Amino acid sequence: MKAFASISLVLLGLLSSTFASPVAVTERDVSSSVYDDLVRYTKYSSASYQLLCVSPLGNTLVQSFSVGNTQGFIARDDTRKEIVVSFRGSFSLADAATDVNLFLVPFTSPGIAQSFNVHAGFLAAYNDVANVVLSTVKSQASKFPSYSVVVTGHSLGGALAALGAVSIKTALPQVSMKLYTFGQPRTGDKQWAAFVEKTVGVNNIFRAVHTFDGVPTLIPQFLGYQHHSTEYWQFSDPGLLTDPATTVKKCSGEEDSSCSDSILSTGINAAHVFYFGQVMAVNPLLCV
């Protein structure tokens, strides 16, 4: 299994790659508002790569966290009444080592213990920051009880976001929550996938995959892994005169063979670092 390379190295591929999907799909089943939210939380996920993000998308930075090799932030949007938790994706050789720790281990994290199994490296990375994430979100939810919680991340950050969403929702079952991930690798086994869907709700999960991004299918199912619902596959990039929402398909079930699972994984590629108009990790203006 080839290790996840640094995102910064992959950015070089953008100079010589295009993002057109090899598969023609014409079905439209997402609204413009869903598409706009995918764009919004892509930006939060991209912003988490910045070394300093003083005002994520112009909103209040509540807490940055950096423990071990896990980084991200918690922001508060007082206009939309949201508490947003964003996890950074792979960006270093240390992250790559985390990514290839493929053993499945029981999901044990502060405040939650389950018999289903998740990726050992991803779990260790989340547990590095679990206490600070939980304590900060609990404090914010107590101060702003009408606010919803959104958890998001790209690449490795998407896997951490899924683990974090389950952890937060278990600790705060009364909060309204949504989970947005972009280029998320398979994170756990079939029982894990079912638990995510039950805990967060399939209608509150937006697992986005961009065209031929190879990371979501890089960790194979034969190792015991399975994705959770609900995938939103952007099967082609919008043209100048194309309604962007028509390029995204809401998929069915956990492993829809008509969506990104239909494309052979090529690992980290150009499509992995380009999501909904954002070249991930390179835009510091998302933090002011």
Residues marked active site are found at 155, 213, 272
The letter for the amino acid at 53 is C
- Nearest in space to 130 (alpha carbons), one of 195, 43, 181, 72: 72
Which pair of tokens denotes residue 175?
């909060």
Return the exposure string of 190-228: e unless at least 16 CB atoms fall within 10 Å of the residue's CB, then b: bebbbbbbebbbeebbbbbbbbbbbbbbbbeeeebbbbb
The letter for the amino acid at 194 is A
- Specify the DSSP class assigned to residue 244: G
Contact criterion met (CB below 8 Å) for 68 and 128: yes
Q: What share of the chain is helix, strand, coil (3-state, %, to 5)?
A: 35, 25, 40
Contact criterion met (CB below 8 Å) for 273 and 279: yes
